[in-house]
A and B are shown apart, each in its own frame.
Chain A
Amino acid sequence: MFNLEMGTEGLRQNQENFKSDSETEETEETEETKKEEEKEEYNKFIEKIEKAEKENKAEQDDLMQRLSKKEVSAFQKTKEKIKKGCKIGIVGTMIVTSLLAAGCGAEKSQEIDHWSQVNIEEARETVPGEVIKGWVDYGLRSIGGWKEDGEDSLVMIGSGRHYYRITQENLEKFKHKIGDEISQFLYYSTVEISRDKNVTGKLLDARIKTFFAKYVENAMENDMNTVAHGFFEKASSNEWQQLEDYIYFGVEQSGINGEEDEVKQSPDLSNLDPTLK
């Protein structure tokens, strides 16, 4: 009986061991299959990228044939810099579009009425109506914040080495201040440039973009891989990303439905990263 029990126990143990070995093998096999699938997926994506790179290369060759030797050489030497310039354009535009959609500067001086109305209308066309309201808040947050040291000053050009935090308490004040700031900028630009509204409209459009592009430049120069990382993502990540999706990548409405509410309501700012000071 004793022996039999031992035998049964031994058999059970063997079965357990066998089962365990077989489970390990199965897990290993599953992991291997998963890795294979991942590799296949990855290769598929890389193929697409290589195809796009080839197309770019063909376009570049085509362009180079139309340029002089000197121009080709200048292009080759500064290609990365040109791309960086384009990047400033893309990110800067996101900020400006959000501000325009928020109506910044629109209710101030008559002198800038032409500029602001035209551009706000244009900006609004690119934004789905239901998110406009949310943009008023996060568009403003996107460009910076309020100094915590008690000084009533805004984040300005040239202060890119400092980081700021917006809180629920100072948000309204901040909105008001930034609105004034933009209006003033537009007003003085109008005076400086011309009274001709057609010319002024065009020039101001370019100048206001430059104004905000400087934020972008500061962030890039301060060793931040992305501007969003420095100024925006930490402060209001969901909203910022939503903005990017809408403007640049046309993510289908259905893909982001779940997050729409986050855009419409003010985000919880209580968990802001303390490094944003």
Chain B
Amino acid sequence: MIINKKIFSALGIKDLPLEKQEEIVKKLEDIILEKLSLKAIKKLSIENKKNFFELLESAKPIVIYNFLSENILGFEKLAQQTAQEVVADFKK
């Protein structure tokens, strides 16, 4: 999980039964990763986008990560921001 258990209380879900907490966090994580995937693709240049879709089928996740990291300036910051946005929206 990219969201750890300590954050459960910050999310306001600590009073729920543990399995429900984990279910919610898993869904949140999925939302973060999906959002990040979409944002990342949008940020690729036309040429890089073409290359990205060409490598997708045969590429391992690590190759996908490398590609995004090399071709999107500040990919890690984007990841951080996305995670923060999703969590902040959830906490509202």
Q: Which A residues fall within an 8 A CB radius of B?
A: 38, 41-42, 45-46, 48-49, 52-53, 56, 59-60, 63, 67, 70-71, 74-75, 77-79, 81-93, 97, 206, 209-210, 213-214, 217, 220, 225-226, 228, 240-241, 244-245, 247-252, 255-256
Contact = CB atoms under 8 A, between A and B. Distances in A.
Contacts of B33: 83-84, 86-87, 90
Contacts of B36: 83, 86, 89-90
B1 A226 contact: yes
B2 A83 contact: no
Contacts of A86: 33, 36-37, 40, 64-65, 68, 79
A83 B32 CA distance: 9
B56 A74 contact: yes
Nearest to A68: B53
A245 B10 CA distance: 10
B12 to A, nearest CB: 8
B31 A49 contact: yes
Contacts, number: 173
Contacts of A250: 84, 87-88
Given A49-B24, A74-B57, A63 B62 contact: no
B82 to A, nearest CB: 9
B42 to A, nearest CB: 6
Given A49-B27, A56-B35, A241-B5, A249 B83 contact: yes
Interface string B1-29: 11111110110110111001000100110
A87 B2 contact: yes
A81 B61 contact: yes
Contact of B61 (A67, A85, A93): A85
A210 B31 CA distance: 24
A89 B76 contact: yes
Contact of B4 (A88, A210, A245): A245
B4 A213 contact: no
A225 B1 contact: yes
Nearest to B59: A81
B24 to A, nearest CB: 5
A71 B53 contact: yes
Contacts of A248: 2, 80, 83-84
A48 B89 contact: yes
B70 interface: yes
